[in-house]
Every structure is written in structure tokens, then in C-alpha cells.
């Protein structure tokens, strides 16, 4: 979890606090906060893996195959993102292939609970559900498909770039090699579990992929 963007970790911590402090009759509102966290988590995973698998047509492919009304990806629901994740695994995404069916079944269960909460404001929640443990299980189960997120700090020594790693561990700044031109100040995805080599250098196996829809989740209020 140390390689996740700090915003997601902060959101998880706030969800835990809310869950512990809220009155029992309002527990359903705490569940909704956890589902917002999972929705944001899935949006990042889906955007990265869809861009890596489908290329420039990724949004069109998802919108046509997931939504009968061709809903824009920006408006995809929790359920839409879940279906996108299943599609990516089915279509052979090399990072999504590691996601176990057990995790997808658990995620499907929570999509159904989320849908019920949307339409049932009395907040009827199954008694055997542990939202904290299930959220962690889902996030860990999908972690191998979660990209490393970076921001370009300096581009004066191409093909080596000074980058900020948008994660919760050290180091935060390293040199990254890219044959593809990268823009200073822009955010990019590289593969999950990217390794830092000697002298804090990274040599990604894939060309960095520009972050689009998920930018405000990963790096809010920053350009």
C-alpha cells in the first residue's frame, strides 16, 4: 500500500475514523465513503490498464462495451468500473490477469450493496459484512494492477527525467529513463511495482502513459 498515492491513503484513514465515530443508524453513510474510495481506486486501475491494452481508443472501447447508452467514461459508476475491470481481465490485460476470481466476486457483492444503498436511504446493510476488511482485501487483491504514478519535475537531461513518485514511501524523487518525450509538470502512469535501481534511477518496462481522467484523484488541485 506504500506505493499508492497519498490521497487514497488519507481517504482510507478518514473512512476508518468516520466508521468508528458515526452513530449506528448512520453507518450506511460511512459505507458510502468506503465505496467512494473503492470507486476512485478502480478508476485509476481501469484508466491505466485500458490505455495500456487498447491504446488511444481506450475510452471509446469501454464506453461502447460497458454502457448501453455509451455513457462517457468520466461518468462511469462503481458498477461500470467493476464491469470494466472484468472486461480488461477477459481481454488479456497483463496486469489484470493477476486478479483472482474471489476478489471479483467480493467486489461484485459490494457493487450490489452500493446499489441498494443508493436506492434505500434507510441504510439496510448485511450484518455479516466487514467493510473495513473487505475494502482492504479488494485493494490488496487488485494491487498488482495498480500503476505507479509520477510527475515530471525536470526534463533538461533527456532521456533521463527528474520525477516525483506519487506514493507513500521513500524515495519520493528519482531519475527516470524514457525514450518518449515527457512534459515537465505532467503526470504519467508507469507499470505497477516499478523498481528503483542503483542511485535512485528507474527504467520502466513500458513507455510512460499520460494520466487523464484520474488526474484529480491522484494529484488534486495541482497541475
Among 112, 145, 178, give the residue marking a domain's end.
145
Please indicate, yes or no, whether residues 169 and 132 belong to a single structural domain of this protein: no
Same domain for 160 and 136, yes or no, is no
Q: Where are the beta strands (DSSP E) in the chain?
A: 148-157, 160-165, 173-177, 187-190, 196-197, 201-202, 209-210
* Cα–Cα nearest to 194, from 182, 214, 208, 213: 208
Residue 199 C-alpha cell reads as 542511485
In this structure, are residues 174 and 183 in contact, taking their beta carbons and an 8 Å threshold? no
Q: What pLDDT digit, counting tens, does each position of 72-95 carry?
A: 999 999 999 999 999 999 999 999
For 46-59, the pLDDT digits (tens) are 999 999 999 999 99
Say yes or no to pLDDT of 35 above 50.
yes
**For the whole model, what pTM was predicted?**
0.94
Confidence category of residue 223, pLDDT binned at 50, 70, 90: very low
Rounded-to-integer distance, Cα 27 and Cα 129, Å: 12
In a domain, 202, yes or no: yes
126 and 209 share one domain: no
In a domain, 61, yes or no: yes
* Total domains present in the chain: 2
Domain residues for the domain of 18 are 6-145
> What per-residue string of b and e applies to 158-184 under the rule 16 or more CB within 10 Å gives b?
eebbbbbbbbeeeeeebbbebeeebee
- 7's enclosing H/E stretch is helix 6-21
Q: How many helices (H) and strands (E) does the chain have?
A: 7, 7
The 10s digit of each residue's pLDDT in 104-135 is 999 999 999 988 887 655 556 777 789 999 99
Reduced to 3 states (helix: H, G, I; strand: E, B; else coil), residue 170 is coil
109: nearest Cα among 94, 130, 92? 130
Q: Is the pLDDT of residue 181 over 50?
A: yes
Amino acid at each position: 500500500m506504500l506505493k499508492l498515492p497519498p490521497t487514497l491513503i488519507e481517504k482510507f484513514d478518514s473512512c476508518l475514523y468516520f466508521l468508528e465515530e458515526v452513530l449506528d443508524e448512520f453507518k450506511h453513510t460511512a459505507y458510502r465513503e468506503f465505496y467512494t474510495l473503492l470507486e476512485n481506486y478502480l478508476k485509476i486501475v481501469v484508466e491505466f490498464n485500458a490505455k495500456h491494452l487498447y491504446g488511444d481508443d481506450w475510452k471509446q472501447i469501454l464506453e461502447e462495451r460497458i454502457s448501453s447508452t455509451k455513457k462517457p467514461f468520466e461518468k462511469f459508476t462503481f458498477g461500470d468500473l467493476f464491469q470494466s475491470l472484468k472486461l480488461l481481465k477477459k481481454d488479456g490485460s497483463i496486469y489484470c490477469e493477476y486478479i483472482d476470481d474471489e476478489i471479483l466476486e467480493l467486489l461484485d457483492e459490494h457493487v450490489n450493496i452500493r446499489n441498494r444503498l443508493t436506492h434505500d436511504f434507510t441504510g439496510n446493510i448485511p450484518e455479516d459484512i466487514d467493510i473495513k476488511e473487505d475494502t482492504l482485501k479488494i485493494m490488496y487483491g487488485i494491487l498488482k494492477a495498480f500503476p505507479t504514478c509520477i510527475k515530471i519535475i525536470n526534463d533538461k537531461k533527456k532521456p533521463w527525467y527528474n520525477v516525483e513518485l506519487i506514493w507513500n514511501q521513500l524515495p519520493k524523487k528519482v531519475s527516470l529513463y524514457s525514450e518518449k518525450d515527457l512534459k515537465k509538470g505532467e503526470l504519467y502512469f508507469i507499470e505497477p511495482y516499478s523498481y528503483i535501481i542503483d542511485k535512485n534511477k528507474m527504467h520502466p518496462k513500458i513507455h510512460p502513459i499520460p494520466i487523464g481522467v484520474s488526474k484529480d484523484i491522484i494529484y488534486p488541485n495541482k497541475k
